[in-house]
Every structure is written in structure tokens, then in C-alpha cells.
Chain A
């Protein structure tokens, strides 16, 4: 064995020993490179593909189709270029190190084996085989191929470049996953053809036979007689040589890599749908431009795939896509510049021309033959149908809603939004609370326009510093009333039913604290809605106020949870918001509170389970502190989101298990919400999966969230269990705003939910849902008879041919706000609802079968 190794690697010579050491080092570095860079990189490419194929927002390396307003050309260019450089930095480092290693250890300058060997075909195959092992982009592999060139000639060097960039296994497998078979096959065939044809043809342009005396000169006079140096001496001296050569590559190629990276970034900035449609169509011009564009840009390894996917979405034809998929990977300006160090200019030109020609030819074949074979196939498998995607547009200006709170209070004192139908005309209206002037009531005209009726309705509450509120029919007279939380005494407006309200005096007005959020719910199931609200106060026992509705406009304070507040809750907690939800499906509303720890800054949820009992007409309120949930970053549950509530996000599974997702939003492009203030969970595209709309905290809220890339609102689309894709409303106008209040409603009853956001310091905005999706839906409005009029606390089960859904009737949303009281179900492609069951708060059950989809349904509680 030892003899074999000695014979095979010539370890009885210095060069043989260097080679063995070089191979060992190479294998170690290669393993580290794959573990820490290549494999994680597949995730980055996957993220780019997810972003590109998500509706509304398509981005590649920071280049987005929907350009963000206010971002300068320079900023976009720099973002793209630095993203590119970041992605290739580790690869380039690996390449420089391996190039130095090859020259110093494996193919040392005076090596007896340091000249070309084998036939042109053998040398080509060596390069094509060695390239994919390196797994580097065409520019990154150049230093290694430069070292390899000494052993395998021009054919081997070019073969290595082509093989590494176009024939690596991840790229070849991913193209079949992302694109249709036509594009996948073309990429495979062009990669093989390019790797086998281009290297020998380029070599022909520089080929010269070595003269006899050159061969004699490079053979040492007496190689065998010299004793080899010790391994240690060889290793140390060659490490110095390795370092020197590697640093030489860095200084020669590093700067040009940066320049070329910025040049590629500049070229990309002119891409837009108009240019792509005009110049990259399925014709010869399109093929020529795609081939030229491909060799004028350098992309990191694998990133030609999301780039082509993006261009396909912009309107590029399938044939130029096939061309670009090959040429963008195969070569680029940095590749050519790097190769110019070892090859004459004419061979660089022939390399570029041959790459261009192979790419063009491939596109031509796809254009001529492919269209017959896959005539109905979409080029991009992951492509969403853009024409049927719901998008949001800002209609504030045309809606007639003018509201600019310009709050004077602290940033968490949002201008709460309350959605209610105060005149029972089925079109829900908007009430907005103001801490710096009159609150506003906007009547919905039903045609996407609103009328300010604040004065006539007498609900301005102008002398109060308003924070938030909640509306419900607390006195069961069939008309929704409004409770407003103020800094100072709170206000309860009773709905007179004739378009006016009356501010009534109750013991709810006695509290002069700084109240924040509130919620209505029937805690004791007596048919009348009770109230919970929160106070921003240092006295923790006064931070949650619970009032029982004693009827006749009287409210009795319940102190059941005060003891827990005093003894079990850390005094550093500030209570921000409360909600009433039946967590454990026992037909009793439980209490969920969001609190902030002033020391650590973390947000927590506190849950009290309701075990209220009524004996001999006397109610015993028992609330046991069930759980203090500690935020956990990930929840891998396969269960769909069923309920979600304010602040950070409560997740309750189908089985009733309470979990918490701190951030259900994918962190693509670092848009991460550290704290969500307004969180609404609703099915924006009616596909049957609830989506998440989050408004975020002010950038200066704490250091952790001080992220310049952070945007104030984001909609994350639920594409199935545990998979969310982020999109932004079109023409987002609120980049620098601080938005605490969010609510949804269907303002024109088209079956798609619209969104209202109320920034802390900027005008309110209405985002209208385009409702382009063909998905079906159902909206329900409940009317209780023996239970509360709004049916709050009821649970609705529906069964369709595709799936079952459960939703609870509650109207607590986010910070100080309240969304539509109607229950909205997205039904996807379901054509009818097999069964619909309402479990009323008092346990009564109503069952309906074969319900038509796409309708607004009112259901009353059966009398018996």
C-alpha cells in the first residue's frame, strides 16, 4: 500500500509530497465550503424564487418589479450590486484560496508534471469533470482554472469554467423544478454541448505545438537522485508560496470583481415590463438580445434561475429565456477579464462568440421545435396567474375620508379604528378616534365613497383625548353603540337609531386613567354584552378593568382578576390591550391580555380562563390565570391559523392548543417585524387560508427594531400550512409612518376584504381590494335573540367539498381597534357549502345545509 502511494504520488520527491498535502488541504477546504456556503445558498435561491413568484411583489437580489416609491436609482443600483457582491464574496474567497493551493501545492511551477498531458478530448473531459466539483460561478472558478490550465491546457481550463457554472447538479435539478420541461431540457443540452464544444474550439484559436527544446528544458536533470525534504519543511515553505499566490489573485481580480459587479447591477436597473416585452420576445431579435445580455452580466452561481424567472414574469419569451438561462451562467465580463490573464485576446473573443452562438442556437431550437412539443406549457411552473390576484390600491383620496390625527400623545396612543354599521344599511361605516381634536364618523355610501356625518351624529367627543374603542349593541336594541377609550374619562355613545348618538353617563365614566383598548363580550352568558378595557398605568391592579353589564345602562365592576394582577404579574408589566375569546371551546369567553415587560421590552400574553358559574341567579366570576406565554420564534405546527389577536400573534390550533408565533412573517429581504401592533387575520384572497396583515411599531421604539428596511405594513399571504409569502399594498405611501391601528371591512360588499390603516401621525388610509381572484366566499351576520344581539362568542363551522373551517365571532383586532363584526369565509373553488353550523354562546345549535356561495347571509338565533 505504502509502495503504491509512493509510486502513484511520487512521495519520494518534493513535488509529490506537495501534491499529497495539496489534495488533503483541498478536500478539507471543499468540505467546509459546501457545508457553510453552497448548501445554505440553495435556501437563498429558494427565497428569491419565492419572492419572485409571490403575487404583487417580485424581487431578484433587491431588484423589484414594483419599484418602491421614494427609492432613488442610485439606492436601487447599490442595493442590487452589494447584494451580488455579498453573494459571491465567499465563493471568490474560496476560488482565490484554491487557485493559490493548486499553483503552490498541486501544480507547482517547476513541477515535472507541470505541462499539458493527454489528448484535447481528454483535457476537455478533465476540466468538465473537475469544474462541477468546485461548484463555483463562471467568474469565481477562473483563478482555479488558471492554475488548472498548466496541467490540462486551454481545453481543461475552459472546460472547468463551463462545467462549474453550467453543469453543476443543483442548477440542473433546479431548472426542472422551476421551469417547464422545455426550458429544463434546453438548459441541460446546452450545458453539455457548451462544455464539450466550446473548450476545444477556443483551444484551436491559441493552439501551438511545443517545440522540442521547450520540452527538454522543463524536465529536471536528475529528479530521482535528490532526497526529498521533510514533510514539515515542505509544508511550511509551500504555505508561504500558497499565501503569496492567493494574495496575488486577490489584488489582481478583487477590484475588477467589484467594478464588474456594479456594472452588472447598472444594466439590470433598466429592466421593466415595457423593455422586456419590446426586446425579449419570441423572435430572432429577442434571442440576439438575450444572448448578448447573458454574456454582458455576471450572476452568482444558480442566480440565473431567479433572474430568468423574473424576466419571464415581466414578459420575456420562452426562447430567449432558454438562451439567457445558459449564457448568463456560462460567462460574463469578470470571467473574460480573469481568463485574459492566461489566454490571448483572440481566444477570449472566440470564447465569448461561441458562448453567444450556443445560447442563440439553443433559443432557436426552442423557438422552432419546442413550441410544437409543449405548446400549452407555462414556461414558469411556479408562476402565479397575475390577472387573478387580489391587490390593494389606495383609494383614500376618492373615498371622501379625510382624517389626519397628528397625535400629540405618545406613539402607542394610536387613532383607533372602529368598524360598525350604525344605520343598519348593511354597508359598514368607519369611526376613527382622535387624540387631537374631533373623532370622526364616516357613513359608507356603498359606492366606495364615504360621508363625514360626525356633526349630525353627535359623536365628535371633541373634548376627549381619544385612543381607541369598540362598538357593539350592548343594550340589545338592535343598534350598535360605541365605547371610546380616552386619556381621561371614557365615553359611551348610545345609538338612538335615527342617525344620532347620545353620550350617556354611567359608572364607566368614573375612571380617569389613560385607557387604551377595549372589547365587548358576554362573560356570563346572560345575553348582555360585558366590557373589558385596559389602562396604561403604573398601578398594575388598575390596568385591566372588567365590567358586567347590569342592564339599564348600568355596569358593575368585577374584581376577579385583580388578585392575580397584584400577586402573580410582574410589576414591570404594562398592559396594552385585552380581548375576549373562547380559547378552550367551553362556550365561555376567556380573557387574553397583551403586556409589555418594561425591563426586557418583550411582549407577552396573559390568559385567564373563564369558569364563571351562575347559581340561584347569582353569578360567580372565576378567572384563573392560565398561562403566561413566552414568545417563541417558530411554530412548526401544520395546523392552519384559526384565530389571531392583537399585538404579537396568538395562534390557536384546531385542537384548542394555544401557541404563539412571534413572527409569522418570512424574513425575505430583511423585512422583519419585531413588534406587530395592529394584526388582522383575514382571508384576503378568499382561498380558504387566513392571511396576516401586520402594522409595525415605530422605528425608534427600541434598538432591536431600528431597521431602515422595515416597512410599516405588510400583508403575508398564507399559501398553505406554515407557508407565508409577503406582499405589500401597491404604491405604499406610508413608508415613514408609524401605524398602530388596522381594521378590515368589505366596504362595497363585493366579497373581498378591504383594509384601513390609521397611522399615529399621518392621514388615515383606505386600501381597496381589487377582488380579481375567482375564489368563492360567504359572509355571515349573526343576530342573537336570547343571546347578545351581535352573536359575539358564537362559533361557526362550515364544511365544503375542499375543507372545513371554524371561525369565532369576536371583533377585537390589534391596537385599540375593531374590524368588521361580520364573519367572512374564503371558500376557494368550492361551489357550495355542504353544511353550516352555528354554536350560539348559550350552547344552542343552528344547522343549515347546501348553502350557496358568494352571498351575504344574515342568520338569527332560533327562538326555541
Chain B
């Protein structure tokens, strides 16, 4: 394993997971932000 793997894998995993949480978990009070727009777009895509 290359010596820099931790510096690449760890932030990617952490921030990638957070991006997924942000998009996947519905916001409280139906507030609108970029993540909820992406979520809505994905749901529409699946429904079609």
C-alpha cells in the first residue's frame, strides 16, 4: 500500500460519507438547500 494512502482514503471516506448523509437525510421543516434539490432530483429520476 502506498505510504500516502491514509491521507487520500481517510478524507475521501469521511467527506464522501458526509455528502451522502447530507443528501440522503431529509431536512427538517422542508427547508431548501442544494442537498435537498439533489435529493428531489434523484427521487424524480428513480420514479421515472
- B14, A243: Cβ atoms closer than 8 Å: no
- Once the chains are docked, how many angstroms separate the CA of A240 from the CA of B15? 12
- Name B12-45 residues within 8 Å CB distance of A: 14-15, 18-19, 21-22, 25-28, 33, 35
In the complex the two chains form, is A90's CB within 8 Å of B7's CB? yes
Within 8 Å by CB of A244, from B3, B4, B6, B22, lies B22
| B19 and A243 within 8 A (CB) | yes
Interface assignment of A237: CB less than 8 Å from any CB of chain B: yes
Given known pairs A90-B6, A236-B25, A670-B3, the reply for A243 and B11 (CB within 8 Å) is: no
Q: When A240-B25, A240-B27 are in contact, do A247 and B18 touch as well, CB less than 8 Å?
A: yes
CA distance A96 to B11 in the complex (A): 10
Could you tell me if A240 and B21 are in contact, using CB atoms closer than 8 angstroms?
yes
Residue in A36, A86, A89, A243 with the greatest tally of chain B CB atoms within 10 Å: A243
The reply to whether B7 and A86 form a contact with Cβ atoms under 8 Å apart is: yes
CA distance A236 to B25 in the complex (A): 7
When distances are taken between beta carbons in the complex, the residues of chain A under 8 Å from B46 are: none
Residue of chain B at shortest CB distance from A85: B7
CB of A652 closer than 8 Å to a CB of B: no
Cβ of A250 within 8 Å of any chain B Cβ, yes or no, is yes
Smallest CB–CB gap between A109 and chain B, Å?
A: 13
Among B4, B19, B25, contact of A239 (Cβ-Cβ < 8 Å)? B25
Q: How far, in angstroms, from A237 to B26 measured CA to CA in the complex?
A: 8
Residues of the A chain whose Cβ atoms lie less than 8 Å from the Cβ of B4: 86
Q: Does B1 contact A (CB under 8 A)?
A: no
B11 touching A242, Cβ below 8 Å: no
**Are A237 and B15 interface neighbours, CB within 8 A?**
no
CA distance A419 to B34 in the complex (A): 75
Q: Are B22 and A243 in contact (CB under 8 A)?
A: yes
Residues of chain B within 8 A of A90, CB atoms compared? 6-7, 10-11
Q: With the chains together, A537 CA to B18 CA distance in Å?
A: 60
Residue of B nearest to A86 (CB): B7
Known: A86-B4, A90-B6, A237-B28. A244 touches B35 (CB 8 A): yes
Q: Which residues of A contact B26 (CB under 8 A)?
A: 240
Residues from chain A with Cβ under 8 Å of B35 in the complex: 240, 244
Question: In the complex, which residues of chain B have a beta carbon less than 8 angstroms from the beta carbon of A778?
Answer: none
- The number of chain A residues with a CB under 8 A from chain B is 20
Interface centre among A236, A239, A244, by most chain B C-beta atoms within 10 angstroms, is A244
Contact B25 A237 (CB under 8 A): yes
- The answer to whether B7 and A97 touch across the interface, beta carbons within 8 angstroms, is no
Give the interface SS of chain A, mostly helix, strand, loop or mixed.
Answer: helix
The residues of A that contact B27 with a CB separation of less than 8 Å are 240
Contacts of A242 in B (CB 8 A): 18, 21
Answer whether residue A246 sits at the interface, using C-beta atoms and an 8 A cutoff: yes
B8 to chain A, nearest CB (A): 8
Shortest CB distance A82–B (Å): 9
Complex Cα–Cα for A250 and B33 (A): 17
What's the least CB distance linking B1 to chain A, in Å? 13
In the bound complex, residues from chain B placing their C-beta under 8 Å from that of A247 are 15, 18-19, 22
Whether the Cβ atoms of A246 and B25 lie closer than 8 Å is no
CB contact between B15 and one of A36, A93, A236, A239 (< 8 Å): that residue: A93
- Bound-state Cα–Cα, A266 to B38, Å: 40
Please pick, from A93, A239, A670, the residue contacting B10 in the complex, using a CB distance under 8 A.
Answer: A93
Complex interface residues of chain A between 205 and 242 (CB less than 8 A to chain B): 236-237, 239-240, 242
Q: How far is the CA of A210 from the CA of B27 in the complex (A)?
A: 32
Q: A835 to B23, alpha carbons, bound, how many Å?
A: 80
Contacts of A92 in B (CB 8 A): 11
* Max count, chain A CB within 10 A of own CB: residue among B15, B19, B26: B15
Give CA–CA (A97, B10) in the complex, Å.
12
CA distance A239 to B7 in the complex (A): 24
Q: In the complex the two chains form, what is the Cα distance from A100 to B21 in whole Å?
A: 13
- Which residue of chain A has its CB nearest to the CB of B14? A93
Q: How far is the CA of A239 from the CA of B24 in the complex (A)?
A: 11
Bound CA span A726–B15, Å: 39
Taken together as a complex, chains A and B put the C-alpha atoms of A240 and B24 apart, in Å, by 9
Find chain A residues with CB under 8 A from B3 CB.
Answer: 670
Q: Which residue of A lies closest to B18 (CB)?
A: A243
Residues facing B in A240-259 (CB within 8 A) are 240, 242-244, 246-247, 250
CB distance from B14 to the nearest CB of A (A): 6
Least CB distance, B27 to chain A, in whole angstroms: 7
- Shortest CB distance A48–B (Å): 15
Smallest CB-CB separation from A87: which chain B residue?
B7
Q: Is the CB of A243 within 8 A of B28?
A: no
Q: How far is the CB of A639 from chain B (nearest CB, A)?
A: 30
Contacts of A240 in B (CB 8 A): 21-22, 25-27, 35
Chain A residues within an 8 Å CB radius of B33 = 244
Contact indicator A246/B18 (Cβ below 8 Å): yes
Q: Which residue of A lies closest to B26 (CB)?
A: A240
Within A80-102, which residues are at the interface with B (CB < 8 Å)? 86, 89-90, 92-93, 96-97, 100
Complex Cα–Cα for A86 and B5 (A): 10
The reply to whether A89 and B14 contact each other, CB–CB distance below 8 Å, is: no
> Chain B: which residue is nearest A93 at the CB level?
B11
CA distance A96 to B27 in the complex (A): 21
Contacts of B10 in A (CB 8 A): 89-90, 93
The CA of A498 and the CA of B32, in the complex, are separated in Å by 99
A89 and B7 alpha carbons, distance in the complex (Å): 6
Complex alpha-carbon distance, A93 and B6, angstroms: 12
Cα of A93 to Cα of B11 in the assembled complex, Å? 6
Cα-based distance from A243 to B21 in the complex (angstroms): 7
In Å, the complex CA distance between A239 and B11 comes to 17
Residue of A nearest to B20 (CB): A243
- Nearest CB of B to A214, in Å: 24
CA distance A670 to B2 in the complex (A): 11
Q: Which of A97, A236, A244 contacts B14 (CB 8 A)?
A: A97
Closest residue on chain B to residue A233 by CB atoms: B28
Shortest Cβ distance from A316 into chain B, in angstroms? 31
CB distance from A496 to the nearest CB of B (A): 57
**Taking the nearest CB of chain B, how far is it from the CB of A62, in angstroms?**
13
Q: Which residues of B contact A670 (CB under 8 A)?
A: 3
CB under 8 Å from chain B, chain A span 244-283: 244, 246-247, 250
Closest to A251 in B: B15
Chain A's closest residue to B15 (CB) is A250
Complex CA gap A463/B5 in Å reads 53
CA distance A244 to B22 in the complex (A): 6
Q: How far is the CB of A102 from chain B (nearest CB, A)?
A: 15
Q: Quick check: A246 and B15 within 8 Å, CB to CB?
A: yes
Task: Output the nearest chain A residue to B34 by Cβ-Cβ distance.
Answer: A244
A240 to B35, CA, bound (A): 10
- Report the bound CA distance from A536 to B19 in whole Å: 59
| B-binding residues in A (CB < 8 A) | 36, 86, 89-90, 92-93, 96-97, 100, 236-237, 239-240, 242-244, 246-247, 250, 670
With A90-B6, A242-B21 known, 9 other A-B pairs at CB within 8 A are A36-B6, A86-B4, A90-B10, A90-B11, A96-B15, A236-B25, A240-B21, A246-B18, A670-B3
Give 30 CB contacts A-B under 8 Å: A36-B6, A86-B4, A86-B7, A89-B10, A90-B6, A90-B7, A90-B10, A90-B11, A92-B11, A93-B14, A97-B14, A97-B18, A100-B18, A236-B25, A237-B25, A239-B21, A239-B25, A240-B21, A240-B25, A240-B35, A243-B19, A243-B22, A243-B25, A244-B22, A244-B33, A244-B35, A246-B15, A247-B15, A250-B15, A670-B3
Tell me the B residues contacting A by CB distance below 8 Å. 3-4, 6-7, 10-11, 14-15, 18-19, 21-22, 25-28, 33, 35
Sorted nearest first, the 7 A-B pairs with minimum C-beta distance are: A243-B18, A240-B25, A243-B22, A243-B21, A89-B7, A93-B11, A86-B7
